[in-house]
Structure 1
């Protein structure tokens, strides 16, 4: 039998199998083939979409990179249009542009991480104006207010019990009160306006005034423009004050409970420091920071004071 005969025989066998198969099985086979073909087309379409997307992003990224290198990498020129030489001028031209662009990116990144200015507060007031002897720096969230969410009101900031008494006690003339928070200005400004209608808070510093270190917004007291021995920071987050831990009185974060009286005790502690004319507040803070709850330690000292000291005495016990 020749090749033609074998082909004819194979076709006859295939047709015979199809004829011998039940109609339902034939339909099932056709359905499976259609499903496989459909999946194959979908996979091909998905791959084409992904390929075109990658090509688009690649072209866009290349164009953006070229624009940055061409714009930021160009040398500066003087008023007459002459090129101003810099540390990259002696290198090959292409390398000059790349290095200048990279340097500009690093400078921009550093600008974002650093405080917005070298002096966050103006110089201390001079006579005939009065400058409070101590500076009190307050975190807003978790110390003065608590973010609260309900289905009825959505997000709102809850005012801490005793805050009116606290601000009245620690405001001028005893302390120069500064709110220094990692919150954005547009969020914090209306809250502070409602929180302090009497104007006890003299200055407000926001996220742009912090130093971004290892994923945390740190309060940098080196930029405060005040004597560190007269600066007290009230905060619950140790990461926020890690650059100057000795200036921080680390209190517990307020969670929104209505029976809290921490601010009342804090006001008494701070008034005691101011009235006693402490030369270096860090020595007092070192003592209280050795306790898990500095405020409870102060309360205990006050109880001892009431027992051991004549009520008419002007002595203070830290």
Structure 2
């Protein structure tokens, strides 16, 4: 059998060579050793063919020579105007440096010299420059007025408590889209909240918006001016890149001031006076604002000496819910105490649960502020409609007056040539009732016979 295999290989010489798969692959795909030389030869043949076709021998790129050689860029001489400008800038810098570090004047300078008598000139110069820098920075970060509100009115015209409430995400919510632009939504119950608490508080709306933007919103939100004072971005303090509402500038006793805000940074200087509100993002079913009324009303009715005490008691909780529980617990304690008193009276032979004279059974007492709250609610129902009607009439008259003034267009030429509008006509526009009264009081001219 083996001899037969050797005989078949002798007849087929190709079968004598057997290559392993790895060797076959290496032989098939291996790169020739002289590949770089072949590439150079190919490039040489291509260059010769191009030279024969164009008639020019191939040349190498060289740098331009002679006239075509680029010249070196030299320094441009400084003109006299530039030198003068540099001199002015340097003089201004030196003058400003001396100005910020100059000695204080008048009595302030005398006191400063006495306070720092052992200080050399350079140290005093640097100290005064730093003091002026910090003073300027503080003046730019502080409100534009030291007293943001006027002095309180005399009693009984001044409400004893002040309620500062935020605008954005507390009373309103603003949104923007490319189809409608800016749109403002009013929080449910915002008008009722302002109108009702106007009976107990001096209301101040304090916003971080610019006045030119916020004023137009407040005209729609509070047309009857239940919040007589409005403070804007110009009245905030700028601290560490944040706008802070400093209540110490309100010109009010801080023991009687409450701030309601949805931004903790706004009341960071006086957190003990704050009621933290959840940001309102446009939910039409929100009731948190109206639910705050019983708590705020009770603070005013009970005439607390310092509002910061009750605020600390309920801080960090859901105030409407926790206050309702506290009120129910108080009623329960009063009821139990009343029952104990009734039992003691009954044991002494009294009439027990019945009044003298056969009247109906007595009822457990209620907190005095609850009875007062009911009285204020009834008073609000009676007077609120009349107040709104009167305010609406005043707004109507104001708009009519504005329209009449617009119709009386007076140009600069009319003022120069005709002397402007007639003062009597302006008086008739601004106060028509007084004009009518004067006309009635003046005697009628005598008729000629």
On the 8 A contact 2:331/2:366 being kept in 1, the answer is no
Q: Does 1:270 align with 2:296?
A: yes
On the 8 A contact 2:259/2:275 being kept in 1, the answer is yes
**How has the CA–CA distance of structure 1 residues 288 and 109 changed in structure 2, closer, same or farther, with 3 Å as cutoff?**
same
Measured after TM superposition, the shift of residue 63 of structure 1 is: 6.9
Give the match's secondary structure for 2:164. strand
Which residue pairs with 2:177 in the alignment?
Answer: 150
Q: In structure 2, which of residues 312, 315, 320 is the aligned counterpart of residue 289 of structure 1?
A: 315
Q: In structure 2, which of residues 329, 350, 366 is the aligned counterpart of residue 313 of structure 1?
A: 366
Greater Rg over alpha carbons, structure: 2
Distance 1:175 1:215 in 2: 32
- What's the TM-score, normalizing by structure 1? 0.68
On the 8 A contact 2:176/2:183 being kept in 1, the answer is yes
Q: Does 1:70 align with 2:95?
A: yes
**How has the CA–CA distance of structure 1 residues 62 and 208 changed in structure 2, closer, same or farther, with 3 Å as cutoff?**
farther
Measured after TM superposition, the shift of residue 154 of structure 1 is: 0.9
Measured after TM superposition, the shift of residue 306 of structure 1 is: 7.9
On the 8 A contact 1:147/1:155 being kept in 2, the answer is yes
Unmatched 5+ stretches in structure 1:
1-15, 27-32, 34-58, 79-83
Which residue pairs with 2:323 in the alignment?
Answer: 298
Q: Does 1:109 align with 2:140?
A: no
Q: In structure 2, which of residues 241, 248, 254 is the aligned counterpart of residue 222 of structure 1?
A: 248
On the 8 A contact 2:292/2:319 being kept in 1, the answer is no
The alignment yields a C-alpha RMSD, in angstroms, of: 4.0
On the 8 A contact 1:73/1:99 being kept in 2, the answer is no
Distance 1:305 1:77 in 2: 63
Distance 1:253 1:261 in 2: 13
Measured after TM superposition, the shift of residue 108 of structure 1 is: 2.6
Q: Does 1:184 align with 2:237?
A: no
Structure with bigger strand share is 1
Distance 1:242 1:187 in 2: 25
Distance 1:284 1:126 in 2: 27
Which residue pairs with 2:273 in the alignment?
Answer: 247
On the 8 A contact 2:206/2:230 being kept in 1, the answer is yes
**How has the CA–CA distance of structure 1 residues 73 and 288 changed in structure 2, closer, same or farther, with 3 Å as cutoff?**
same
Measured after TM superposition, the shift of residue 118 of structure 1 is: 1.8
Distance 1:311 1:153 in 2: 58
Larger RCO, structure (CA 8 Å, separation 6 or more):
1
Alignment of 1:13-92 (within 5 A): 19-21=44-46, 67=92, 69-71=94-96, 73-74=98-99, 91=121
Give the match's secondary structure for 1:260. coil
Which residue pairs with 1:210 in the alignment?
Answer: 236
On the 8 A contact 1:139/1:179 being kept in 2, the answer is yes
On the 8 A contact 2:161/2:257 being kept in 1, the answer is yes
Distance 1:76 1:140 in 2: 46
Distance 2:195 2:169 in 1: 19
Distance 2:135 2:89 in 1: 19
Distance 1:61 1:137 in 2: 53
Q: Does 1:201 align with 2:254?
A: no
Which residue pairs with 1:13 in the alignment?
Answer: none
Give the match's secondary structure for 1:142. coil
- What's the TM-score, normalizing by structure 2? 0.50
On the 8 A contact 2:302/2:369 being kept in 1, the answer is yes
Q: How many residue pairs get matched?
A: 262
Which residue pairs with 2:58 in the alignment?
Answer: none
Unmatched 5+ stretches in structure 2:
1-40, 52-60, 62-83, 336-362, 371-449
